[in-house]
Amino acid sequence: MYAFGLYNPNLVGVVTYGMPASHSLCVGVCGSENQSIVLELNRLCLNDGIPNGASKLVSESLKMLPKPSIVVSYADTAMGHVGYIYQATNFIFTGTTKERTDIAAEDGKHSRHHKGNPENRVFRSAKHRYIYLNGNKKDRKNLLNSLRYEIFQYPKGDTKRYDSGGNVATQGMLF
């Protein structure tokens, strides 16, 4: 639904936002009255070498989204992510999802809409869930009062960074 780029002077990063795949997430965040304003930060990719580039890109793109809006994003624990970019941009940490399995399609990947063999399962790792309440001060207060998730302290730990081929590039805390 929304895509933003970071230029320096060429394109060096992209962030995209869209409708969450889960209807229950849209209702579950802040109730059915706010389900239509829920977005998911679903992709973030950045070339290395730009100090704080990812947090700058996310921060500036949030300012350009429609208001009010609720942005949900996840940091995948299986990929070694903690969510420091979300912490740096003042997202709220609302806990970690549970590991589970999903029905797999014939190709062995996650099946959409449960079309697949129920006996063929694919592992889904735990994810750190972050939420950003986007709007003016009154909007943010109203959305915070509607928030249905408990708020937790930010998780900490080592995180992994990947090069464009998906290989681990460096390890260490990004903060």
Mean predicted confidence (pLDDT) in 162-170: 50
pLDDT value at 13 more than 80: yes
User: Considering the chain, what percentage of its residues have pLDDT values greater than 70?
Assistant: 80
pLDDT value at 22 more than 60: yes
Q: Tell me the pLDDT band of 150, cut-offs 50, 70 and 90.
A: very high
In a domain, 174, yes or no: no
In a domain, 103, yes or no: no
Q: Tell me the pLDDT band of 175, cut-offs 50, 70 and 90.
A: very low
In a domain, 116, yes or no: no
Q: How many domains does the chain have?
A: 1
Tokens of 44: 């973030």
- Cβ 128 vs Cβ 96: under 8 Å: yes
pLDDT value at 174 more than 60: no
pTM here is 0.82
In a domain, 112, yes or no: no
160 against 131, higher pLDDT:
131
In a domain, 13, yes or no: yes
Per-residue pLDDT tens for 97-136?
A: 887 776 776 666 655 555 666 677 776 788 999 999 999 9
Per-residue pLDDT tens for 43-101?
A: 999 987 788 899 999 999 999 999 999 999 999 888 888 899 999 999 999 999 887 77
Range of the domain at 14: 2-98+126-168
In a domain, 104, yes or no: no
The pLDDT value recorded for residue 169 is 45
In a domain, 31, yes or no: yes
In a domain, 121, yes or no: no
Identify the CATH number of the domain in which residue 66 sits: 3.40.630.30
